[in-house]
Amino acid sequence: MTSNIKQVFDFLHKVENLKRTKRFKTVDDINGDSVGDHTWRLALMAFVVAEELKIDVDVLKSLKIALAHDLPESITDDIDQKRKKLENISNEEKRESEEKAMREIIQDLPSDLGQELLNLWLEYEEGETREARFVKALDKIEGLMTHLELYNGKIDGYDLTAKHGNKEVKKFPEIAEFFKNFKEELKIEFQKHNLEWKKEYDDYR
């Protein structure tokens, strides 16, 4: 037992730097939040949204998926859309890099615990279960919320921003009501900057 606890402590030390791993680093004039910040609010969102909307998901499993989904970034750093484009990183290369990092992160954990974390990460990546689709949709919304909050009203890449998350919410329509509230906030920002709000931006239902 003592040996296993030491392994858990070593793992927790290993992923500690997620609290300082910045997101949106490739975006000009923005001081991005950390992966740890993002993971915390995503997990909180999963809990409160599931409770408020009475969504039929395994909430505990959803929380576990949320906590596991970005663990590889403690090694790979954040690979956002702009970085993928700048460094010519394909989706397949990103997936392979992150899976390799995930396996490295869990290698010193007790085997059952390490395998559970890996399975949770793979479940999120594959997006086949209700819990995975739920967390994926919320993950997109959380990123959009942070983008809008940290930009303090400045809209950058507005066309991509306005459509971001639509595909994932379509796959989990139970949170369309929650997403609608965010879209209303985004529309207000578009109006402030005299940007056209296109019909396709509401294509998430």
- For residue 61, pLDDT beyond 90: yes
DSSP character string of the chain: -HHHHHHHHHHHHHTGGGGT-BSSTTSTT----BHHHHHHHHHHHHHHHHHHTT--S-HHHHHHHHHHTTTTHHHH----HHHHHHTT--HHHHHHHHHHHHHHHHTTS-HHHHHHHHHHHHHHHHT-SHHHHHHHHHHHHHHHHHHHHHHTT--SSHHHHHHTTHHHHHTSGGGHHHHHHHHHHHHHHHHHTT----GGGG---
Per residue in 84-136, pLDDT (tens digit) is 888 888 889 989 999 999 999 999 899 999 999 999 999 999 999 999 999 99
- For residue 30, pLDDT beyond 80: no
Per residue in 49-59, pLDDT (tens digit) is 999 999 999 99
Q: Which of 79-83, 163-167, 189-193 has the lowest mean pLDDT?
A: 79-83
Per residue in 133-146, pLDDT (tens digit) is 999 999 999 988 88
The most confident of the ranges 53-67, 73-87, 149-163 is: 53-67
Q: What is the pLDDT of residue 151?
A: 66
Measured distance CA(121)–CA(130) in Å, rounded: 14
- For residue 14, pLDDT beyond 80: yes
Q: What is the pLDDT of residue 50?
A: 98
pLDDT above 90 coverage of the chain, percent: 65
Confidence of residue 178 (pLDDT cuts 50, 70, 90): very high
pTM: 0.91
Q: Could you give the domains of the chain?
A: 2-202 (1.10.3210.10)
What average pLDDT score do residues 162-177 get? 95
Determine how many CB atoms are found less than 10 A away from the CB of residue 32: 19
Q: What is the pLDDT of residue 157?
A: 65
Measured distance CA(82)–CA(174) in Å, rounded: 30
Report the DSSP beta bridge partners of residue 98: none
Confidence of residue 26 (pLDDT cuts 50, 70, 90): low
Measured distance CA(93)–CA(172) in Å, rounded: 27
